[in-house]
Amino acid sequence: MPYETLADVRSLIQSRIEEGLTLEYKEEVDRDSKDIAKDISAFANTEGGTIIYGVKSQDKIAIDLNWLENVGVDERIQNIAMTTIHPRLEEVKVIRIPNPENGSQTVYVVDIPKSPNQPHMVFNRYYIRRGSVSSAMEDAEVKSALFGAGRNAALRYEISKNIDLAKRTHELIERVYVYAPEQRQPFALIPFHTDAWNAIVASGVLYSLGAELSKKLVESYRLIHEVNSLIMWLYHNDTTTVVHTPADVSSSKHGIYIPAVIRDRLPRVWSLLEEISSLLQG
C-alpha cells in the first residue's frame, strides 16, 4: 500500500499498525549512509516495501509523528540508492509530506520496489528482511537470489516447452510403433531443450533452490540427457533398427528398438517436469 499523504501516515498511527516485512518506522534519518543503504537494499532484496522517516514507534507500533527538518533528505536518500548500493537502485521513490503548520518540517516516505536485479550489495554485504528487521543474508540466500527472476522465467519456459515436446514425441512414437518392423519408416525426433538447465548448473546455484526442487530437476534432466543421447544416436546412424543399448538392460541379450526406449521414458519425463513447474510457480 502506498503512503503518499499525511492522512495515510496518520492512519498508521491511529490504527496502531506494526512494523513488518514491508514496513519500517524511523524516528530520525540515520546519520550513517551505510545504515540507510542497508535498509533500502534489504527491502529491495526481499518483497519491497516502505520506510517512513519521522514516525515514533514503541514495540514496533507507530505511536506519533516526529517532524524532521526539510534539509535535502530526499536528495541524500536518492543519492545513496544510486551510488552506495550495487547494482544501483534507480526506482526508489522518496515522498516529502510537509507539516501543514510548519513548512520547514517534513516526514519522508521511501517507497522501495522489489528488485528484479537482486541481490543488491552494500559494502560487500547482502541484506534481507527477516520480519521487521534488516539482517545479513546467509550464503544459501545469496545464491538463491542470484538465481534471479530471469533464470527462473527461462527455466519455466524451457520446462513448458519440454512438457509439450515429451507428449508430442510420445504420441508420434506410439503411432509408428503399431506398424510391423518392416513397415516402419525412419523418422526424426527433436531433442529436448537444455539451455536454461545448463545455465543453472554452470552458475552453481542448483542446490540453493531447495532439496525437493533440485532433486526433481536432477532426475528429470538426467532422463532428458539420456533421451537426447538416444535421439542423437538415431541421427548419426540414420536407422531405427534393433540395437543393444545400456539405456535398457533387457537389450543385452536380444537388442531393443531405440524409439521404444525413448517412448518408455517420456511419461516419467513430463510427469517430473509438471511437478517442477508447480514448484516453480509456488
- The 10s digit of each residue's pLDDT in 199-249 is 888 777 777 677 888 899 999 999 999 999 988 888 776 555 677 777 776
- Give the residues across from 22 on adjacent strands: none
Q: Cell 538392460 sits at which residue?
A: 249
**pLDDT tens digits for range 84-104:** 999 888 889 999 999 999 989
Q: How high is the pLDDT of residue 90?
A: 81
Compute the distance between CA of residue 47 and CA of residue 41 in angstroms, rounded to an integer.
11
Say what the pLDDT of residue 149 is: 62
Residue (of 83, 259, 75) closest to 178 by Cα position:
259
pLDDT tens string, the chain, 282 residues long: the values are 678 999 999 999 999 999 999 999 999 998 899 999 999 999 999 999 999 999 999 999 999 999 999 888 889 999 998 899 998 888 899 999 999 999 899 999 999 999 878 889 999 999 999 998 999 998 777 877 776 666 778 888 999 999 999 999 999 999 888 888 778 777 788 999 999 898 888 777 777 677 888 899 999 999 999 999 988 888 776 555 677 777 776 766 677 778 888 999 999 999 999 999 998 876
CB 22 within 8 A of CB 50: yes
Cell of 68: 524532521
The answer to whether the CB of 87 falls within 8 A of the CB of 49 is no
Per-residue pLDDT at 239: 56
Q: pTM of the full predicted structure?
A: 0.61
Under 8 Å between Cβ of 142 and 203: no
Three-class HEC string of the chain:
CCCCCHHHHHHHHHCCCECECCEEEECCCCCCHHHHHHHHHHHHHCCCEEEEECEEEECCEEEEECCEECCCHHHHHHHHHHHCEECCCCCCEEEEEEECCEEEEEEEEEEECCCCCCCCEECCEEEEEECCEEEECCHHHHHHHHHHHHHHHHHHHHHHHHHHHHHHHHHHHHHHHCCCHHHCCCCCCCCCCCHHHHHHHHHCCHHHCCHHHHHHHHHHHHHHHHHHHHHHHHHHHCCCCEECCCCCCCHHHHCEEHHHHHHHHHHHHHHHHHHHHHHHHC
